[in-house]
């Protein structure tokens, strides 16, 4: 039942009132950034989108992503007026409120946390892609600011969306002319936005974002467009509706003062007594996508040589065949990370993101909100390109998000430092609640893929380029937070903690030290975070010191993790890369940067 | 003296031979990615660019950036044939060679390390901008691959370059159709590249990249274009010139086998006996830009309240006035980071990068190659957007690159987790050789800006949102690697290590503990990396344990740094954020996440 334009316009005014009141009560926030988009929100929530205010799952419904996250009060207001939430809007930004300063999934209608600009469209593209995979009907709407269109990630999302033919995706840019610290690059010139959307393969149209009828019409055009996504470039005024805010500089991120100032603003909005009952509107029920418990079947022989990245690919292939909720995304290195094995087995659930790591990760996160277990893989060093996306994913609390970084460390050899991840462990350990896994042989690699697929939240798997010997039995289990003590005796004098390619060095060092009568314990720290505190503290008590050795910068990685875990219970010698590395042969580089068996032996001798 | 087309074509064939031979000798590398761009390199190095093969400084010369860094052998070959280097090309990728697998500044012609795609144009834009600032004449040429055009950062650079009118910048895209793991998104369709350049405000033209005359002509057009940058979209064939490589899939990153296979390839190239003497060509000598020793003049009163971010702005303003080689870049948050103070004092040396952190950092790095001391500032959490750029900057070994991240930690309050940097210390500590500084009051903030400006390489300054009390004398010095012991006695039983906003909490805890008869040492760890090992080890020996407290994730930051530095000499209790935070008042949040004075007191009691 269509709502008439006058009522939608009045609802826009009501949303403005809600935003002014809630931010004034909070004493902070971005009311003017909400006011520019009030008609857009009114038409979306009360006319265009098909959704059921009682069910935030998004199943067989249209969904909405607020990419310009600082307009959170507008989202809270629209949800409240539509009957999706019953929170008191005046609790905005309070510690005891779900209505945070920027959207987080504490409110279940929020599928991904936003507030770092330029990310919403990436996630939305992932949702739209997953819906294409599932052949489910609901559309994905995303509201962006004009300022955030400066982020390159927006255009990565744009190319991803057009390349994958996501005609179930509609992006609306709220061109309100004013950024945080001044006017935007193009102010009210809509042409650059239109030509970019078109240059990136989208259908695009300009609209007066305060003209309810025009907004309805362009959304109808968007819904009717097939084969490509649709971009709406809406000319708006920041602070629209209140004379002393409207189109005025200096009002970004500033609440109107309670009392007289607020009263004046609200008076200008006029009569805002309106209610629109949102009837549940859903698409015909679609068949729930199939799912199965993730399982891998490693089948290696002891001593067999295989790179952990190859084993990662083999495990992905198994999941592709047996776990229908698994999907994979690549940054044009699938033949190096071996995620191409997934593509071979299940091309329809594989998304090529080309050399655009931000949308690769953002789209993976979006896919996770559609019930997928996404595996996004690239060289570990290039995941640093998407660090802000991974950081924000923490706040999205995804059911699953598996990131795999291959080619870790100097052991990649001749390609040189630009391709060597030496900071990925630091970056992943620095994320609250993330799981960091680091296999050392093919069996542990496959098993850790299985572990990752079963672990909620963000899981990082670090794989290596060189082949390493298989040391584990195919049936060995690798739970999160565990470790493997590979060598130990009643008279161990020193402990060596290693993972990945340095584990073989540790085992070599164990031999050398043994010949000298120094018994060394060797621990495979395959779970870098959470870390096996019990095993490490036991080693701290039973041996005179711990040598850690990692193909990573000496700061932020395994050494730090172990030193923090033992927290002073024993001496710790950290071996890691301390100088800028260069091209060379892998073994040459392990030696040159002090993470070879020889370096371990020397460090162990210093401790005993 | 112009070189005739036939000779330039022959030089292209010679470059192909060089690349085939050097990669075959190395047994790895990307010969086919070099071969597509051989005519482009030939015309650039032997005809178009004005440079002096004896002087890699770039001063009063055109400069070149190889953004598609995997084509390094082509750069080495062009430099060798032009007389810029005399290295043996056959040492490519060897540990003892300067000729690494991807360009690094071990060869002085390389201004910025490349190999992480999509970064070269950002750096080049920064160089071109710095040359505009200096009114110096040399142009900046950058060669990109088609695959890397998928990176959003390329378009951030594009908008930066057109917005700032960088008509001294020319980008050439080598559209060779084939990426690493398959065809690129648009293969040989040049239209998307052209329309994007134009959509981002560039002049753009297509060309047959193997037609020497056409390439010359389009470069001449580029040179003649005023007011905007110029993009050349060159259609090429990967592996051009050798039948079994040309336009063939499966040859990315693969060397031709020495012996018969190489022989066959070289035979197809025909006669490559050519030499072109590159005469030194320079622009008229420009006046060297002025420079002065960086100095700040803090003038605070003890107990005065000021945020470290405000002091950062004040220090920048002083540098803007007194240190002409200082420049500043912003990501549209200059009114929050207070870098606007620099803009007010020296608008001509201030670049607004809008909400595009990758080009902000990339351009800052580029500016550093022109002798600038760049200060790039945004919210600390948004520097994570540019982490790959910061990582690569390590390998560029910049003379100076100062990054300032404001709004660190939960103490920002109501805006919520998306705006709270909780992983920035981990990310910066994970960089080899980076300096990480963290002021706690206005004096230390200003002094650390001075320290940063005098420190070579990458320096990160972490500032805070809340106001804190001035505790230092204006004349206090804050050298890199130092710390300040603010409270100590002969009978200290515990040490508290803090920095930034937690320092005030530590001082409060000191009072509370003192009343209980527990003497606590308090250390301000303003230099997080390098760390003051001596002071910490002394504290480890003289007290029963160390409590660290930081407004940061409990992993990867100050706690880890201290635990690693004391390496088991005493117990360490790490207080940091362990749960996903939410909106709230700053004090409320410090308490809720266990980094307030109360939490410190409790931890100290556990240790004594």
- What does the pLDDT look like over B399-409, one tens digit per residue? 999 999 999 99
Q: Who contacts A253 (Cβ-Cβ below 8 Å, separation ≥6)?
A: A28, A29, A30, A33, A70, A180
A175/chain B closest Cα distance in angstroms: 14
b/e A558-578 (16+ beta carbons within 10 angstroms → b): bbbbbbbbbbbbbbbbbbbbe
Identify the pLDDT of residue B602.
98
B423/chain A closest Cα distance in angstroms: 5
Q: How many of the other CB atoms lie within 10 Å of CB of B207?
A: 23
Q: Mutate which of B163, B173, B192, B388 to test chain A, going by most A C-beta atoms within 10 A?
A: B388
Residues of chain B predicted below pLDDT 70: 1
Q: Mutate which of A548, A583, A594 to test chain B, going by most B C-beta atoms within 10 A?
A: A583
Asked if B384 and A388 come within 8 Å (Cβ–Cβ), the reply is yes
The answer to whether B90 touches B24, Cβ cutoff 8 Å, is: no
Identify the pLDDT of residue A508.
98
Asked if B557 and A184 come within 8 Å (Cβ–Cβ), the reply is no
A414/chain B closest Cα distance in angstroms: 5
Q: Which residue of B has its CA nearest to A146?
A: B355
Asked if B388 and A382 come within 8 Å (Cβ–Cβ), the reply is yes
The answer to whether A512 touches A488, Cβ cutoff 8 Å, is: no
Q: Is B589 an 8 Å CB contact of chain A?
A: yes
The residues of B that are catalytic are 357
Residue A325, Ramachandran bin (φ over 0: left; ψ between -120 and 50: alpha; else beta): alpha
Identify the pLDDT of residue B190.
98
List the single residue in B163, B388, B566 with the smallest CB-CB distance to A185.
B163
Contacts of B569 in chain A (CB under 8 A): 568, 571
Q: Which residue of B has its CA nearest to A384?
A: B388
Asked if B181 and A335 come within 8 Å (Cβ–Cβ), the reply is yes
Q: Who contacts A538 (Cβ-Cβ below 8 Å, separation ≥6)?
A: none
**Integer Cα distance of A589 and B570 in angstroms:** 34
Q: Mutate which of B343, B384, B603 to test chain A, going by most A C-beta atoms within 10 A?
A: B384
Query: Tell me, what's the ipTM?
Result: 0.98
Check whether the bond before A250 is cis (ω within 30° of 0): no
The encoded tokens of residue A39 equal 């008609």
b/e B454-464 (16+ beta carbons within 10 angstroms → b): ebebbbbbbbb
Asked if A356 and B419 come within 8 Å (Cβ–Cβ), the reply is no
Within 346-365 of B, beta carbons closer than 8 Å to A belong to: 352, 354-359
Angle at A349 between CA A345 and CA A354, to 5 degrees: 100
The answer to whether A209 touches A174, Cβ cutoff 8 Å, is: yes
Q: Which residue of A has its CA nearest to B190?
A: A199
Name the H helices within A242-338: 260-269, 308-322, 334-337
Identify the pLDDT of residue B447.
98
**Residue A212: DSSP 8-state:** H
Within 186-245 of A, beta carbons closer than 8 Å to B belong to: 192, 195-196, 198-201
**Integer Cα distance of B242 and B264 in angstroms:** 9
B175/chain A closest Cα distance in angstroms: 14
A2 band by pLDDT with thresholds 50, 70 and 90: confident
Mapped onto helix, strand or coil, the DSSP state of residue A352 is strand
Identify the pLDDT of residue A56.
98
Contacts of B148 in chain A (CB under 8 A): 355
**Integer Cα distance of A410 and A414 in angstroms:** 9
Residue B527, Ramachandran bin (φ over 0: left; ψ between -120 and 50: alpha; else beta): beta
Name the H helices within A252-403: 260-269, 308-322, 334-337, 340-345, 357-368, 387-396
Provide DSSP, B156-219. Answer: HHHHHHHHTT-TTEEEEEEE-SB-SSSB-SSTT--HHHHHHHHHTT-EEEEEETT-HHHHHHHH
Asked if A415 and B101 come within 8 Å (Cβ–Cβ), the reply is yes
Q: Strand B545-553 and strand B571-577: pairing? A: parallel
List the single residue in B419, B422, B431 with the smallest CB-CB distance to A115.
B419
Please say whether the dihedral angle defined by the alpha carbons of residues B261, B262, B267 and B269, taken in this order, is positive or negative.
positive
B431/chain A closest Cα distance in angstroms: 6
Asked if B113 and A418 come within 8 Å (Cβ–Cβ), the reply is yes
Identify the pLDDT of residue B151.
98
**Integer Cα distance of B437 and A337 in angstroms:** 36
Q: What is the pLDDT of residues A503-542, one digit of tens each?
A: 999 999 999 999 999 999 999 999 999 999 999 999 999 9
Identify the pLDDT of residue B568.
87
Asked if B557 and A430 come within 8 Å (Cβ–Cβ), the reply is yes
Within 549-578 of B, beta carbons closer than 8 Å to A belong to: 553, 555-557, 559-561, 563-564, 566-574, 577-578
Q: Mutate which of A335, A388, A531, A551 to test chain B, going by most B C-beta atoms within 10 A?
A: A388
**Integer Cα distance of B165 and B163 in angstroms:** 5
Q: Which residue of A has its CA nearest to B117?
A: A355
Asked if A94 and B584 come within 8 Å (Cβ–Cβ), the reply is yes
Q: Which residue of A has its CA nearest to B393?
A: A418
Asked if B93 and A583 come within 8 Å (Cβ–Cβ), the reply is yes
pTM: 0.98
The residues of A that are catalytic are 357
Check whether the bond before B48 is cis (ω within 30° of 0): no
- In the block, residue with structure tokens 């540990």: B95
Measured in whole angstroms, the distance separating CA B154 from the mean position of its chain's CA atoms is 15
A115/chain B closest Cα distance in angstroms: 5
Identify the pLDDT of residue A1.
62
């Amino acid at each position: 039942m269509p709502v008439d334009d006058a009522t939608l316009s009045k609802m826009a005014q009501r949303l403005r009132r809600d935003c002014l009141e809630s931010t004034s009560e909070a004493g902070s926030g971005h009311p003017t950034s909400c006011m520019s988009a009030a008609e857009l929100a009114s038409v979306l929530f009360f006319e265009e989108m098909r959704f059921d205010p009682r069910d935030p799952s998004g199943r067989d419904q249209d969904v909405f992503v607020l990419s310009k996250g600082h307009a959170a009060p507008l989202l809270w207001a629209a949800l409240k007026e539509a009957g999706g939430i019953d929170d008191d809007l005046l609790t905005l930004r309070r510690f005891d409120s779900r209505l945070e300063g920027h959207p987080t999934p504490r409110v279940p209608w929020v599928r991904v946390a936003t507030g770092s600009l330029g990310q919403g469209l990436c996630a939305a593209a992932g949702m739209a892609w997953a819906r294409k995979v599932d052949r489910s009907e609901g559309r994905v709407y995303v509201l962006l600011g004009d300022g955030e269109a400066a982020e390159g990630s927006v255009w990565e999302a744009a190319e991803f969306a057009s390349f994958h033919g996501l005609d179930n995706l509609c992006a609306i840019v709220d061109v309100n002319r004013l950024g945080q610290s001044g006017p935007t690059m193009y102010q009210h010139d809509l042409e650059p936005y239109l030509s970019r959307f078109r240059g990136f393969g989208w259908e695009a149209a300009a609209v007066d974002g305060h003209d309810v009828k025009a907004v309805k019409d362009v959304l109808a055009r968007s819904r009717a467009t097939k084969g490509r996504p649709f971009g709406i470039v809406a000319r708006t005024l920041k602070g629209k509706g209140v004379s002393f805010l409207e189109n005025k500089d200096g009002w970004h991120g500033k609440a109107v003062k309670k009392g007289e100032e607020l009263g004046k603003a609200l008076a200008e909005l006029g009569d805002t007594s309106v209610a629109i009952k949102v009837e549940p509107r859903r698409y015909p029920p679609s068949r729930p996508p199939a799912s199965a418990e993730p399982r891998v079947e490693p089948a290696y022989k002891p001593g067999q040589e295989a790179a952990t990245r190859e084993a990662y690919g083999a495990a992905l292939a198994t999941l592709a065949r047996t776990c229908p909720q698994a999907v994979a995304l690549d940054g044009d290195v699938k033949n190096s990370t071996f995620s191409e094995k997934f593509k071979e087995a299940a091309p329809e659930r594989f998304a090529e993101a080309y050399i655009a790591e931000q949308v690769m990760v953002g789209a993976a996160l979006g896919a996770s909100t559609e019930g997928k277990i996404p595996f996004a893989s690239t060289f570990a060093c290039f995941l640093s390109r998407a660090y802000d996306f991974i950081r924000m994913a923490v706040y999205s609390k995804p059911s699953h998000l598996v990131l795999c970084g291959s080619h870790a460390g100097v052991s990649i050899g001749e390609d040189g430092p630009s391709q060597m991840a030496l900071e990925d462990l630091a970056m992943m350990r620095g994320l609250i609640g993330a799981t960091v896994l680091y296999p050392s042989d093919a069996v542990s690699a496959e098993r850790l893929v299985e572990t990752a697929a079963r672990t909620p939240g963000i899981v990082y798997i670090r794989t290596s380029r060189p082949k390493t010997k298989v040391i584990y039995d195919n049936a060995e289990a690798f739970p999160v937070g565990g470790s493997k003590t590979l060598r130990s005796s009643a008279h161990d004098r020193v402990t060596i903690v290693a993972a990945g390619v340095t584990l073989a060095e540790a085992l070599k060092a164990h031999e050398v030290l043994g010949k000298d009568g120094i018994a060394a314990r060797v621990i495979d720290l395959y779970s870098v975070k959470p870390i096996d505190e019990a095993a490490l503290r036991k080693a701290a008590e039973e041996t005179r010191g711990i040598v850690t050795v990692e193909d990573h910068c000496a700061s932020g990685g395994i050494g730090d993790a172990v030193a923090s875990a033992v927290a002073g219970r024993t001496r710790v010698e950290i071996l890691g890369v301390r100088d800028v590395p260069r091209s060379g042969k892998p073994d040459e580089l392990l030696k040159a940067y002090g993470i070879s068996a020889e370096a371990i032996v020397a460090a162990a001798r210093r401790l005993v």
